[in-house]
Structure 1
Amino acid sequence: MTDTTPDTESSSPGAGQHLGWALVLICVAQLMVVLDGTIANIAIPFISTDLEIDEANRTWIVTGYALAFGGLLLLGGRLGDLYGRRRLFMTGLILFAVASGLGGLATNEAMLIGSRALQGAGAAMAAPAALALITTTFPAGPSRNRAFAVYAAMSGVGAAVGLILGGWLTGLDPELGWRLTFLINTPIGLAAALLAPRFLAESEPHPGEMDVPGAITATLGLLGVVYGITRAGEDGWGDTWTIASLGSGLVLLVAFGVIESRVAHPLLPFRVFLNRTRASSFVAMFLAPAAMFAMFYFLSQYIQLVMGYSPLHAGVAFLPFCFGIMAAAAIGSNLINHVDPRFLAGVGTLMAAGGLFGFSRLPYDDTFPLGHTEASYWTDLLPFILVMSFGMGMTFIPLTLTAVHHLRTEDSGIGSGVLNTMQQVGGALGLSILATVFTTVLNNRQDDVAAAGASGTNPGDPAAIASQLFTEGATHAFLVGALMMLAASVIVWVFLDVKHAELATDGPEGVHVG
C-alpha cells in the first residue's frame, strides 16, 4: 500500500517549510486555472485581428476553455482518486503548460481554439487534485483552515488578476502582448509540475475501478449542459442548438444517475451528497460564483464602455477586489477556528448581495433625450467592490471547508471535482441568465428609442444612448445577481449546521454533522 501521509506532516524542523511550499504549488496551480478564464478577455479584439477570427467565432476563445474545463471536472476528480492525485495534478499542469505554449504560438483560429480546449482539459485534471491535495497534505485544524483560506482567496482573486494581467500584457505590445497572456503560463506550470514530487505526497491508487459508462455519460452530459448554457447567453434560450444541447445533456446526466446507482465502483458515489452540510455547501457554491462572475463581466465592460477606461486601467480598477478578498481570507482563516461556518458564510453572502445591490444603483438617464450619465469610481463603484470582495472571501473559505470535510479518503478527488463543477456550471448558468436579463432590457429600451425617433422626439446623442442603455441593462442584471446571492444566503443560514470545532477533526464520513 502506498503511504498517503506526507513527510510534511512530521514534526521535523523543516515540516512547516515543506507545508508552505506545498501550499505555494497548489495555489499557483489554482491561480493559473482561474485567471485563464479571464486573462484573454481584454486581448480578444487583438487576437481576432491578428488571426482573422470573425465575430461569430470570437466567443470560442473563452468558451473553448470553459467548455472543456466544466465538462471534464468530474472525470478529472475521479481519475485523481483512482490513479493518484499528485500524478493527475502534475499531468494536468504539464498539459495546461504545453497547451498554453501552443496558444501563444498559434498561427490560425483552429490552433488557438484547440489549444484553449486543451488548457481546459489540463485545468480539469489539476483543479480537483489541487483541492484534494490540501486535505491529504495539511492536518485538520488551523493549519488546514489557513491552507483552505489561501486556496479560496486564489479562487476569487484569479478572475481579477486575469483582467489586470491581461490588460497589462496586451498594453505592452498589441501584436505580441496577447501571445504573452498564454506563454506566461508555460514556464510557471512546468516548474510547478516538476517541483510537485518534492513537496506533495502521492495518494493510494485504485486502478481497475474506473466506471467507463459513467465517465462517458457524465462527461458528454456536462459538455452538453455547459455548451447549451453558454450558447443561451449568446443566442438566447429559444435557439434550436441551445435546446438540443441542453436536452441531450440532461438526458445523458439522467442516464449517468441510473448507471451510478447500479455499478460497484461509481464515478460519482451518491454518498458524497448524503451529508446535509456538504450538499448545502455544494448548492450555495453553485449560486455564489454566478453572481461574482456577473460582477466581473458587466462591470469590466461598464468601466470601459461607459466610463471610458483603457483596458489596463479597467483591470487596475479591480485591484482593490484582490486586496479585499486576501484580507477577508486572512480574517476568515482565523475566525473559522472560533466561529461556526454558518455565521461566516451567512454574513459573507449578505455582504456580497449588498455589493451587487449597490451596483444595481448605478446612475443612468431614462428620459428622452438621453444624456450621458456615469458613475464616480470612488463613490459608486469602489465601496461596493470592497464590500463584494470581503463578502466573497468570507463565503468561499467556510464553504470550501465544509464541502470537502469528512469525505472518505478515496472520495476526496471526486468531492473536489463536484465542488469545482458546481462553481463552473453555476457560473456559466448564472451568467447566461443575467445576460438574458440584460439583453431583454436592452432590446425593450432600443424599441423605445426607435419609437421616440419615429415620433419626432429627440432620443439623444447615439453615444449617450448606447452608454445609458448598457447601464440600464447591467443594473437589472446586478439586481437579479443580488437575489441569487440572497438565495445562497438562505441556504447557508438554514442548512449549514456544522460546528467550527468539528472542522478541526479528521475522521470517516458521517451522515449527521454538527
Structure 2
Amino acid sequence: MTSQPVPDTAAANPRRWWALAVIAIAQLMIVLDATIVNIALPSAQKALGISDANRQWVITAYTLAFGGLLLLGGRIGDLFGRKRTFVVGLLGFALASGLGGFATSGGMLFAARALQGAFGALLAPSALSLLSVTFRDPRERATAFGVFGALSGGGAAIGLITGGLLTEYLSWRWCLYVNIPIAVVTAIGAYYLLVRDHVDRSRRVRLDLPGAVLGCGGLLAIVYGTSEAVTRGWGDWLVLTALCGGVALLAVFALVERRTEHALLPIHLINDRNRAGGALAVGLAIIGMFGLFLFLTYYLQAVKGYSPVKAGVSFLPMTAAVVVSAAGIAARLMNRVPTRNLVVPGLLLGAGGMAWLTQLRVDSPYTTMVLPAEVLLGLGLGLIFMPTMNLATLGVAPQETGAAAAIINSAQQVGGSIGTALLNTIAASVTATYLATRNPADPLVQAEGAVHGYAVATAVAMGILLAAAVIAFLMINHRPAPGEAEGEDASAEARAAV
C-alpha cells in the first residue's frame, strides 16, 4: 500500500479548523431549520389563526424554496465567490428568521420561511464546497467530512429537540429568533476565518439563465407536487401535473445544458457514476430518515403521550449514533476502504432499523422497540452521509465545486419531500382501511389503526433502503488513492486504478 502524502502545510489555511467550526455551525442551522418548527407548529397555528389546510406551508415553503433553488445557489457561489455567497446567505437567513419570528399572520410566516429556504439554497452548496477546498490533505479531509456528515445526519433530530425546548419554555417564535444570533456571529467568523476564494475576473461572469429557469423550475415543481400529495393524494390532477411538468422541465434542462458553454450544471458532473450513485444513495436514505421522524414524532406524542420536550429528547440516541458512526467510524475508514464498503453497510443498517419498527405496537416500550431502531438508523446514516458528501466534490475543479455540492443537496431535499409525501400517504391509506372494518369511535382502535399504518409505511421505507443498497453497490466503485483530494489529476488517477 502506498503511504499517504505529507500534508502541504505551507498551502494549508492555518485557521482551517476554526473555519470548519464556522462551516459546521452554518450546516447545522440549515439542517435543523427543516424540523425545528415541526413541534412548534401547533402553537404557531393557534397564535396566527392558520387553518388546518394551510398549516403545511410552514414546512413546505421552506423545503420548496430550498430544494428548488439549490442548483442556482451552487452556481452563484462558483461565479461570484463561495465565501461572499456564504456570508450573504447567513445574513439573509438571519433577516428571514427575524421576519418569521415577528410574523403577525400566516401569510407573513409562510413568506419568511420561503425566504429562509432561498438563503439556505445559497448557504448549503457554499458550505460543502468551502469545506472541500479548505481541506485537501486526505486525513484532515476525512475528519472534516466526518464532522460535516454527523451534523447533516443528526441535525434534523437536533431540530426536533431544540424546537421542543424552545416551544415549551419560551415561545414558538424563538424557534425562528434563535437563528439570528447564530447566523450573525457565524457570518462574522466566516468573514475573518475563511480564506477568500479567487474568482477569475479576466473571464466575463455569465449566469445560465435558461438553465436556471428550467432546472430550478423542474425541482420546484417536483418538490411542490410531492408536498401537495400529503393532503391531496397522488392521484390529484394538480399533483400529477406538477410532477409530470417537473420531470419534463428537468429533461429539457438536461438537453439545454449539454449545449450551453456556461452551464448551470455541467453534465459531466452527473455523468460520474460515483457522484451519481452517492447522490441516489443519499436521496433514498433521506426517505427512511424522514419516515422515522414523521412517524415517531406522532407516535411518541399522540399515542404514547410524550411532551414536546420528551419527544425531542427521545431522538438523542439517534443523533449520538450518527456522530459516532460518521466521525468515529467512517472518518477513520474513508481513506482505507472502498467507498461502497461504507455506504452499502450503512444502508443495510438503516434498513435493519426500519425492519425493527415494523413490529411497532401501541404498547411497545421505548427502550426495546424505538431505541434500537434509532441506534441502527443513526449508525447507518453516519456511514452514508460522510463518504457520499466527500464523493460529491472529490476531484472537482474549484470553479465547479458549488454546482457539484448542489447535486447532493438537491438529492437530499427531493428525497425528503418525496419520502414525507409517499410514506404519509401510505400510512394514512392503511389506517383508513384498518378503521373501516372496526369501530373508529374507540380511541384504542384509532391508536391501533395509526400504529398499523406507521408499521406498513416503515416496511416500505425498509424496501427503499434495500433498493438503495443495491444501487450503491452497483454504481459506486471509488477506491481511495493517495493525494486524490488535491484535484482533478489525482482524481483521474484514482478512477484509472479502479
TM-score (structure 2 length as normaliser): 0.94
In the alignment, what sits opposite 1:455? none
Residues 32-41 or 211-220, more deviating? 211-220
Report 1:65-144 matches (<5 A).
65-144=62-141
In the alignment, what sits opposite 1:398? 387
In the alignment, what sits opposite 1:293? 290
CA contact (8 A) 1:106 1:112 kept: yes
**Distance apart, 1:127 and its partner CA:** 0.3
Picking from 482, 489, 493, the partner of 2:462 is: 482
In the alignment, what sits opposite 1:55? 52
Q: In structure 2, do the counterparts of structure 1 residues 503 and 315 end up closer, same or farther at CA, with 3 Å as the change threshold?
A: farther
In the alignment, what sits opposite 1:464? 444
> For 2:106 and 2:440, how far apart are their aligned partners in 1?
40
CA contact (8 A) 2:38 2:160 kept: yes
**Distance apart, 1:503 and its partner CA:** 7.0
**Distance apart, 1:197 and its partner CA:** 2.2
In the alignment, structure 1 residue 41 sits paired with structure 2 residue 38: yes
Please state whether the residue corresponding to 2:85 is helix, strand or coil. Answer: helix
In the alignment, structure 1 residue 239 sits paired with structure 2 residue 233: no
Please state whether the residue corresponding to 1:497 is helix, strand or coil. Answer: coil
CA contact (8 A) 2:435 2:446 kept: no
In the alignment, structure 1 residue 194 sits paired with structure 2 residue 196: no
> For 2:195 and 2:13, how far apart are their aligned partners in 1?
13
> For 1:103 and 1:33, how far apart are their aligned partners in 2?
15
> For 1:360 and 1:502, how far apart are their aligned partners in 2?
43
Please state whether the residue corresponding to 1:401 is helix, strand or coil. Answer: helix
**Distance apart, 1:471 and its partner CA:** 0.4
Aligned AA for 2:344?
G
> For 2:19 and 2:140, how far apart are their aligned partners in 1?
12
Unaligned runs of 5+ in 1: 1-7, 364-372, 450-458
TM-score (structure 1 length as normaliser): 0.91
> For 2:100 and 2:330, how far apart are their aligned partners in 1?
37
**Distance apart, 1:506 and its partner CA:** 2.2
Aligned AA for 1:352?
G
Aligned AA for 1:351?
L
Output one character per residue of 1:124-148: Cα deviation in whole Å (capped at 9) or x when no partner: 0000000000111111301011111
CA contact (8 A) 1:275 1:512 kept: no
Q: In structure 2, do the counterparts of structure 1 residues 9 and 309 end up closer, same or farther at CA, with 3 Å as the change threshold?
A: farther
CA contact (8 A) 1:9 1:137 kept: no
Residues 177-186 or 232-241, more deviating? 232-241
**Distance apart, 1:250 and its partner CA:** 2.1
Residues 494-503 or 190-199, more deviating? 494-503
Aligned Cα root-mean-square deviation (Å): 1.8
In the alignment, structure 1 residue 227 sits paired with structure 2 residue 224: yes
Report 1:411-450 matches (<5 A).
411-449=400-438
> For 2:199 and 2:485, how far apart are their aligned partners in 1?
24
Output one character per residue of 1:188-223: Cα deviation in whole Å (capped at 9) or x when no partner: 101111221221122233552211111111112211
Q: In structure 2, do the counterparts of structure 1 residues 171 and 78 end up closer, same or farther at CA, with 3 Å as the change threshold?
A: same
> For 1:298 and 1:202, how far apart are their aligned partners in 2?
43
**Distance apart, 1:409 and its partner CA:** 1.7
Residues 65-74 or 487-496, more deviating? 487-496
Aligned AA for 1:101?
G
In the alignment, structure 1 residue 30 sits paired with structure 2 residue 27: yes
Aligned AA for 1:416?
A
**Distance apart, 1:495 and its partner CA:** 2.1
> For 1:513 and 1:289, how far apart are their aligned partners in 2?
31
In the alignment, what sits opposite 2:173? 179
In the alignment, what sits opposite 2:477? 497
Please state whether the residue corresponding to 1:117 is helix, strand or coil. Answer: helix
In the alignment, what sits opposite 1:453? none
Q: In structure 2, do the counterparts of structure 1 residues 461 and 241 end up closer, same or farther at CA, with 3 Å as the change threshold?
A: closer
> For 1:435 and 1:51, how far apart are their aligned partners in 2?
25
**Distance apart, 1:11 and its partner CA:** 4.3
In the alignment, what sits opposite 1:378? 367
CA contact (8 A) 1:142 1:504 kept: no
In the alignment, what sits opposite 2:319? 322
In the alignment, structure 1 residue 156 sits paired with structure 2 residue 145: no
Please state whether the residue corresponding to 1:178 is helix, strand or coil. Answer: coil
In the alignment, what sits opposite 1:452? none
**Distance apart, 1:277 and its partner CA:** 1.4
In the alignment, structure 1 residue 170 sits paired with structure 2 residue 167: yes
Please state whether the residue corresponding to 1:38 is helix, strand or coil. Answer: coil
Aligned AA for 1:328?
S
**Distance apart, 1:512 and its partner CA:** 5.0
**Distance apart, 1:10 and its partner CA:** 4.2
In the alignment, what sits opposite 1:370? none
> For 2:294 and 2:87, how far apart are their aligned partners in 1?
31
Aligned AA for 2:480?
H
**Distance apart, 1:108 and its partner CA:** 1.2
**Distance apart, 1:254 and its partner CA:** 2.1
Residue-pair matches, total: 484
Report 1:350-361 matches (<5 A).
350-361=348-359
Please state whether the residue corresponding to 2:53 is helix, strand or coil. Answer: helix
CA contact (8 A) 2:395 2:484 kept: no
Aligned AA for 1:388?
L
Q: In structure 2, do the counterparts of structure 1 residues 209 and 9 end up closer, same or farther at CA, with 3 Å as the change threshold?
A: farther
Please state whether the residue corresponding to 1:63 is helix, strand or coil. Answer: helix
Please state whether the residue corresponding to 2:305 is helix, strand or coil. Answer: coil
**Distance apart, 1:323 and its partner CA:** 1.1
Report 1:274-313 matches (<5 A).
274-313=271-310
**Distance apart, 1:335 and its partner CA:** 1.7
Residues 481-490 or 433-442, more deviating? 433-442
> For 1:299 and 1:38, how far apart are their aligned partners in 2?
13
Aligned AA for 1:436?
T
CA contact (8 A) 1:61 1:112 kept: yes
CA contact (8 A) 2:13 2:134 kept: no
Please state whether the residue corresponding to 2:54 is helix, strand or coil. Answer: helix
Aligned AA for 1:223?
L
Deviating runs (4+, > 3 A) in structure 1? Answer: 8-12, 502-505, 509-513
